[in-house]
Amino acid sequence: MKEFSIMERKLSHATERREFTLYYQPYFHLATGKVAGMETLLRWKTPGGPISAGKYISILEETGMIHVVGEWVFRKACQQLMEWKENGRALIPISINISPVQFAHKELVDTIGGILKESRVDPQFLIAEITESTFMKDVDYTHRVLKTLKDWGMSVSIDDFGTGYSSLSYLKRFPIDNLKIDISFIREITQDPDDASIVSAIISLAHNLGLKTIAEGVETEEQWRFLHLLRCDMVQGFYCGKPMPPQEAEKMLT
């Protein structure tokens, strides 16, 4: 409890002092090897170096700070897209993670809509990335939010697909574009026949439903080649490209 309170206080100060920054991790078309898009990743700037969100996201959610930080992430990502555009770069889609707590906030749609108008970014270059657990909450609300985002021109990706307990029926019920296959199935895909079978089935299911697939956590050439054989659409991971600050990410844009 004491550690939680200390971390909560530090995160509160970090929010007030704008100590957060965004890194960008690219993902690639398997067929061509070209950059398909980038995922925004929250980093906390500290004297010891940037800290990834996985170490403190739960505290942001429990304290409600996720709404302030999440809004900042969305606005910053849109500003970054416009900056790259002004620099003459060809834009590619950017995916933005929306946590279940953040997604459930009734002002989410108004917040995103306001940022889109303010930034004047083309929504076709934005992807809302949500987890399977999000669909297990309020079904009608979830459908309404996703439909609104889609109507604006945004895309929707399901993160960590295959690790949740939700019914597959949501794949046809909700307006989804991409499935991101969880790293737990990719890590030993070239050694474990069960993992290979699961990934193959997910890819087949997705394609039959008109969805694209992105394999997370690709760290070796063997995994890349194996996923290519399975006809996975896109891959992301340290083998392809590590998370990088915006200046480095911009160099990957033509």
Amino acid at 95: S
The pLDDT profile of the chain, 254 residues, written as one tens digit per residue, is 667 787 788 888 887 888 899 999 999 999 999 999 999 999 998 888 888 888 888 889 999 999 999 999 999 999 999 999 999 999 999 999 999 999 999 999 999 999 999 999 999 999 999 998 887 778 899 999 999 999 999 999 999 998 876 668 888 889 999 999 999 999 999 999 999 999 999 999 999 999 999 999 999 999 999 999 999 999 999 999 999 999 999 999 98
* Separation of alpha carbons 158 and 103, rounded Å: 13
- Specify the pTM: 0.93
What pLDDT is stored for residue 192 in this prediction? Answer: 98
CATH class, range 2-250: alpha beta
Q: What is the pLDDT of residue 167?
A: 67
Tokens describing residue 35: 């950059």
In DSSP notation, 81-148 reads: HHHHHHTTPPP--EEEE--HHHHH-TTHHHHHHHHHHHH---GGGEEEEEEGGGGGS-HHHHHHHHHH
Whose CA is closest to 234, among 90, 74, 34? 34
The domain segmentation of the chain, as residue ranges, is 2-250
Q: What is the pLDDT of residue 16?
A: 81
Tokens of 171: 């794949």
pLDDT at 32: 96
